Chains A and B, each alone.
Chain A
C-alpha cells in the first residue's frame, strides 16, 4: 500500500513530530502501550532524552568506578558528556565534562588527576571540586587575571548527583525532586538492605533494542516460565508477585528464592541482620527510568540500561556481596558460578527484547494490550513514561 493510502488514524503509524499518548494514560484494563514511534523515531528518542532521562534521576555508573582521590571518569550519557570525579575528601561529584572557556572536552579517558583538571586546549585548570584555579594568559601573555573573568563564577558546571547502593544517579536538568524524595518508595521498601556492599563482578551486553524494552521486560514475572524455564522447577509463576508503588518504581518479587551452593556445599554469607522475609524472598524492581535492581539475601545486583540510540542499548550488570571478595578467595569459584548464572538468565531475555524491537516496525502494531493481572508493573512503567513525556510537552523547558 503506498504511503499516501494510509488512513490518518492507522494504528501504530509512525508519527515523527509527536505521538498520541492518550491510550497509554488509560487504566490498565483499557490502556494501550506506548506507540511504535517511542521505540524507533529519533525525534521521540530526543524528546524522551529530555523529558524522561534528563528530567528525572537516571543511573549512569557506579561509585566503585572511581574509588581513589583524583579518579576522574568521563561518561557520555545519551550524548551528554559528564565527568565523575572523586575529590580529596572522598566525595563524589558529577560535572559537565566541558571547559567553561570554549567548551572543550576536559577528560577523554578514565584517569587519576594528580593535581588539577587541566583543559587540553588553553590550560584552564579546575580543582577536584570543580573550582576554577587558574586561567593562564587570559588577560594577555603572562597575565592570568582579567576583571571580566571571575573565577568564582566559572567553576565546572555541576550536575545534581546522588549515590544510592553504589549507583550514581544524575538529574541533568536539575528539576527533579531531591533523590531521597524521588526514590522514597524504593528506599523505604529496600531499607532492610541498607548494608555495606562490596563489588564482586560485572559484565555487559549490547542489545539491539530501545532502552525501554529492557526495562519493560524486567518489570514483570509473566514471561518467566516461558523465557526462563529453568526457574519452573523451584520458582513457579504463582510464587511471584508485583512490586508496585505510586512513584517511579515497580517490579516483581518471588517468595521462593534459593541461594547458590557450590560443589562442596559452600554458600555466600548473607547480608547481616536481614529480617526473616529475605530467607526465601527476593525482589527485582526498577527505579525508573533505567536502573534495574535485584535484591537477594546473599547478593545484590543492578543492571543499568544505557541508551545508545533509539534502537540500541547497553545493559551494564554489576554484582555486589555483603563480604569483601578479596578476603574470601575461597568463594571465588562460587562467585564465578553466580555471575555465569545471571549472565545466562539475562541473556535469555535478549531475543525477546530484540524481537519486540523489530516488532515496533510493524505499522499495524498499536502499542499492544496489557494483561490487567500479569502486566501491571510494565503498565506502570509505560504510564510513568507517558506522564513524563506529557509533562515535557506541557511545560516545555
Chain B
C-alpha cells in the first residue's frame, strides 16, 4: 500500500477505533520503513502497532516486541 493511502486508512481506523486494524496497519508501515532501512521511523510505527496489540491482546504483540527490543526500543 502506498504511504498516502496507508495514512488515510490509518486515520479511518483511528476514527472507527478499529484497534485490530490499527495493529495491522501500523505493523505494515513499520515493516515498510524497515525495508527502507529507516529504523527510527520503523520503530515509531511498530511502537504504535505494539501498543494497540497490547491493548487488544493481539497475538502479534510478542513478535513486534522482539523487533523493538532488537533495536533497543523495548526491554
1/0 per residue A115-147: CB within 8 Å of B?
Answer: 110100001010000000110110001111100
Which chain A residue lies CB-closest to B41? A142
Contact A123/B51 with A115-B58, A142-B40, A143-B43 known, Cβ cut-off 8 Å? yes
| Pair B47/A144 contact, Cβ less than 8 Å | yes
| Pair B73/A118 contact, Cβ less than 8 Å | no
Task: With A134-B50, A145-B72 given, name 12 new contacts (CB 8 A).
Answer: A114-B55, A114-B56, A114-B57, A118-B54, A134-B54, A136-B47, A136-B48, A142-B40, A142-B47, A143-B43, A144-B73, A144-B74
* One of A115, A123, A142 near B61 (C-beta < 8 A): A115
| Pair A141/B73 contact, Cβ less than 8 Å | no
- State A151–B75 Cα separation when bound (angstroms): 10
- State A36–B47 Cα separation when bound (angstroms): 57
Which residues of B in the span 34-58 have a Cβ within 8 Å of any Cβ on A? 39-44, 46-48, 50-51, 53-58
Contact A133/B73 with A142-B43, A143-B43 known, Cβ cut-off 8 Å? no
CB distance from A112 to the nearest CB of B (A): 11
| Pair A125/B55 contact, Cβ less than 8 Å | yes
- State A123–B50 Cα separation when bound (angstroms): 11
List residues of B whose CB falls within 8 A of some A CB. 39-44, 46-48, 50-51, 53-58, 61, 68, 72-75
Give 11 CB contacts A-B under 8 Å: A114-B56, A114-B57, A115-B54, A115-B57, A115-B58, A115-B61, A137-B44, A141-B40, A142-B44, A145-B73, A145-B75
The tally of residues in A whose CB lies under 8 Å from a CB in B reads 16
List residues of A whose CB falls within 8 A of some B CB. 114-116, 118, 123, 125, 133-134, 136-137, 141-145, 151
**B residues within 8 A CB of A116?**
54-55, 57
Which chain B residue lies CB-closest to A126? B54
Which chain A residue lies CB-closest to B33? A142
- State A137–B41 Cα separation when bound (angstroms): 12
- State A136–B74 Cα separation when bound (angstroms): 9
CB distance from A108 to the nearest CB of B (A): 14
- State A133–B69 Cα separation when bound (angstroms): 13
Most buried by B among A118, A123, A136: A136
| Pair A115/B40 contact, Cβ less than 8 Å | no
- State A116–B52 Cα separation when bound (angstroms): 9
